[in-house]
Structure 1
């Protein structure tokens, strides 16, 4: 009952006119940027982060929530009409959705994606509302030793499971931890890894690194791989009120629900994020299809759009559970959300519901509001999104670089930050070029200082005895859970690889095929 009342208080904040405008602006910006070729939710958040610098915390977080959900929605439009997934989670949508568009049923594909995203997002947000406080009650009881165990779980799962190679993921994580240690040691006041440069004495700002990797590096990588010439967008015909036929509704509602309950639990654990959830959903729909419906798979089956899009958006809500309650980001997009919190000196974790309860419940309430706004806006405005897809790419990616540079300068208003942005951005380009995932590096940079602080506290309490790090019953349980998570994750990944190699004959073109999981 207390949680329900807190949620009602959150709605009282989120439905204030000014916050409704912020939510509307967030979902519009998120969708507009997310619909662009090769730009996923993580890049949308990184690119648009500078616009929130002048806002107070509640407004900024509501804007970010809108951008987050809007970016998830926008990817389906690109996949269906352009056959260019902006991220790995949209690959499955492109498999069936683009074939539907080529057969003149693009409107149905867009409609089932939008409605499925709304259904999944709403149900998953309800689950988030009731599950997150329960997890927080447990998490608030943990001490430094248990927190060290949680950080190790975050490092190993994100480093090993995000990306196609475990070694490259862990190497990226190590680089992030190295950058996190730059600056002045909080305990000894000695400079570490600054190479004698006064500009590195205060360390490198997390926002700067995130924008450099997700915006500059990603823009350079995507621009280098996109085809030359005009973008050919499949036209959408028919009035939006007539997009879903009776048969389409009948074939879509069960995949919407199945996708929701597949995506949410996978999103709450470090099992590979929304891309694994979409492949599991697609495989399930293909296996459950019967008769004529089964024969349509590979040729434009609406179930192959409805299920994965629902799983995608349900997983997006699921990743907020460990982020808000434990401070652990399990995806690149969640890492960007964590950066947004830290920008306002708010640290997600066990005490978040106690120290910033009003803000958290306003955020959760804004997810309901933003989800409804997206459904109302997406279908009528699909013509505008199609026009955005036709922006010349030279203008598009040069604009991204300029916007990122302005954002970097606004962090501390020093030109050196722009130079650091470009250096790290070029480095991020080569990381993507050679298959090193970006997300582990950002997670290492964000969680590194927290891990160091908790590790020092744990060793101080145990008087330097490292056995104390694993002797706690809760810590031992967490390490056992880590083993279970790894086993489950590798099994899911194995099923996904088998599915890709045996059941998918043609892979959609676009940057997402080259591990845009970061």
Structure 2
């Protein structure tokens, strides 16, 4: 393992890879600072830029985009009380009150430092937890792989916002879309409408770009003015950084980072949940809890270290088990699959020359956004004043170009447009986009596992079903799947009783 780690850092320190990392970090901060343009959208739109690159270089750039955008969300959260990304929602509780007191630069500074420590904690968890979990995945057979895919679907649906029924229907819709293409067992085309381009199934990247990026573009198209202009940005003063600022709240950094890393490992939880959990814990153990919510710097430290630790944690189940920890990890998983890389043990053995440079790039991304963030905080704050029309036009061009670049096929552009329009209406109706994407990606994995188990059991349905409950790991996963489906119902019932 040590040799792979050294090899990873050696590759990541290549001058060209460092340049790509820095460029990805700057782009990520810009995307993150704009309210409504989330980390997921940024990664989805920019994935096509990596097609012509070496796989390791492309993933290093995506690591910079991911980490930079997560930090970037704190800029608008602190200055404008509008989180640039959902993960920064909790940061508004103390970040904006600090700005109203004339301490906006201090809030940005603390957000950057806390993000660094949280990101480092997530990277450590990624380095040391991912390989053992990947090794454990070797015990997985076809039954376990199928149940793992089902588990990913159930937990994402159960954690989806809003109606549980709509979350379930969103996942089901994704499963149905994943069935387009050649049948796994018979190689007979399904739901292709005699369109040759659909024989290989729905292309993942155009679908993701349509559902996340074009859907958001259509949602925001009615806003013709800038996101918001504020005098606080013009008179923003960022104080001089000192060594003491990096260790101002060591216990808060540690506790919040641990919370964030573990929340990230749980599929579907996300940075917004981690931020609120860490904020509550910091307030509970603080000597001055009354200051929280009134412009407390420690509150910013807690939320930002937690939501950035989620980044590393969310990649652990994605790389090892094929279960993305959040929507950004789901998009990154699509990028891996486009490169011909499948999650699991092989990523850390056969494709170690790609995986470990990516992990090393993830570590270096923490230093990259910290340097860029501390130096250019005031300049990045100007991004929130970009006119919405210019922004949406640029995103629209990237959507079309990125979808076409996937395979130089105009059909992919049509797929992107269809998914974007359908996604807009579904999002407006309250359906969960992330559940659709997970259904699309995990549906084929679940089907492949079930069909392999069916063939191993000599195509006997009864024997196939029995095999899922006679294998210990498969049985445990089955129980967990059932529990994850019923737990939201139980929680809703308890909430209803408490209200009555």
Q: TM-score, normalised by structure 2?
A: 0.92
Q: In the TM superposition, what are the counterparts of 1:79-228 in structure 2 within 5 Å? A: 79-224=77-222, 228=225
Tell me which residue corresponds to 2:357.
362
Label 1:245 to 1:484 Cα distance change in 2 as closer, same or farther (>3 A).
Answer: farther
Distance in 2, matches of 1:408 and 1:132, equals 31
Distance in 2, matches of 1:163 and 1:377, equals 34
Distance in 1, matches of 2:268 and 2:278, equals 14
Is residue 428 from structure 1 mapped to residue 426 from structure 2 by the alignment? no
Contact 2:423 2:433 in 1 (8 A): yes
Distance in 1, matches of 2:366 and 2:3, equals 21
Distance in 1, matches of 2:188 and 2:316, equals 37
Task: Provide Cα deviations, 1:254-273, integer angstroms capped at 9, x if missing partner.
Answer: 32221101111111112522
Task: Provide Cα deviations, 1:252-301, integer angstroms capped at 9, x if missing partner.
Answer: 333222110111111111252222111111111222233xx322222212
Label 1:350 to 1:494 Cα distance change in 2 as closer, same or farther (>3 A).
Answer: farther
Among candidates 279, 301, 319, match of residue 324 of structure 1: 319
Among candidates 272, 275, 279, match of residue 272 of structure 2: 275
Is residue 53 from structure 1 mapped to residue 51 from structure 2 by the alignment? yes
Tell me which residue corresponds to 1:473.
472
Q: In the TM superposition, what is the alpha-carbon distance from 1:344 to its structure 2 partner?
A: 0.6
Distance in 2, matches of 1:445 and 1:164, equals 21
Label 1:496 to 1:347 Cα distance change in 2 as closer, same or farther (>3 A).
Answer: farther
Question: What SS class does the counterpart of residue 380 from structure 1 fall into?
Answer: helix
Tell me which residue corresponds to 1:514.
none
Task: Provide Cα deviations, 1:54-88, integer angstroms capped at 9, x if missing partner.
Answer: 11111111111111111111111121112221332
Q: In the TM superposition, what is the alpha-carbon distance from 1:232 to its structure 2 partner?
A: 1.7
Distance in 2, matches of 1:166 and 1:5, equals 46
Contact 1:73 1:117 in 2 (8 A): yes
Q: In the TM superposition, what is the alpha-carbon distance from 1:182 to its structure 2 partner?
A: 0.7
Task: Provide Cα deviations, 1:387-439, integer angstroms capped at 9, x if missing partner.
Answer: 22211111111211121111122223333332332221111111221211111
Label 1:495 to 1:302 Cα distance change in 2 as closer, same or farther (>3 A).
Answer: farther
Contact 1:276 1:493 in 2 (8 A): no
Label 1:406 to 1:185 Cα distance change in 2 as closer, same or farther (>3 A).
Answer: same
Distance in 2, matches of 1:89 and 1:491, equals 26
Distance in 2, matches of 1:360 and 1:197, equals 36
Is residue 403 from structure 1 mapped to residue 395 from structure 2 by the alignment? no
Contact 2:146 2:445 in 1 (8 A): no
Q: In the TM superposition, what is the alpha-carbon distance from 1:241 to its structure 2 partner?
A: 5.0
Distance in 2, matches of 1:123 and 1:490, equals 34
Quote the RMSD (CA, aligned, Å): 2.6
Tell me which residue corresponds to 2:332.
337
Question: What SS class does the counterpart of residue 103 from structure 2 fall into?
Answer: helix
Distance in 2, matches of 1:77 and 1:165, equals 31
- Note the residue ranges of structure 1 that are not aligned, 5 or more in a row: 502-518
Task: Provide Cα deviations, 1:159-209, integer angstroms capped at 9, x if missing partner.
Answer: 221322222112111111111111222432221112344443332211110
Question: What SS class does the counterpart of residue 345 from structure 2 fall into?
Answer: coil
Tell me which residue corresponds to 2:262.
265
Tell me which residue corresponds to 1:507.
none
Tell me which residue corresponds to 2:447.
452
- Note the residue ranges of structure 2 that are not aligned, 5 or more in a row: none
Label 1:160 to 1:12 Cα distance change in 2 as closer, same or farther (>3 A).
Answer: same
Tell me which residue corresponds to 1:510.
none
Is residue 439 from structure 1 mapped to residue 434 from structure 2 by the alignment? yes
Question: What SS class does the counterpart of residue 208 from structure 1 fall into?
Answer: helix
Contact 1:280 1:496 in 2 (8 A): no
Select between 185-194 and 333-342 the one with higher mean Cα deviation: 185-194
Contact 1:145 1:475 in 2 (8 A): yes
Label 1:29 to 1:481 Cα distance change in 2 as closer, same or farther (>3 A).
Answer: same
Tell me which residue corresponds to 2:250.
253
Contact 1:267 1:319 in 2 (8 A): yes
Task: Provide Cα deviations, 1:11-34, integer angstroms capped at 9, x if missing partner.
Answer: 111111121112111111111222
Aligned length: 493
Select between 485-494 and 345-354 the one with higher mean Cα deviation: 485-494
Tell me which residue corresponds to 1:511.
none
Label 1:139 to 1:202 Cα distance change in 2 as closer, same or farther (>3 A).
Answer: closer
Contact 2:233 2:382 in 1 (8 A): no
Q: TM-score, normalised by structure 1?
A: 0.89
Distance in 1, matches of 2:237 and 2:144, equals 56
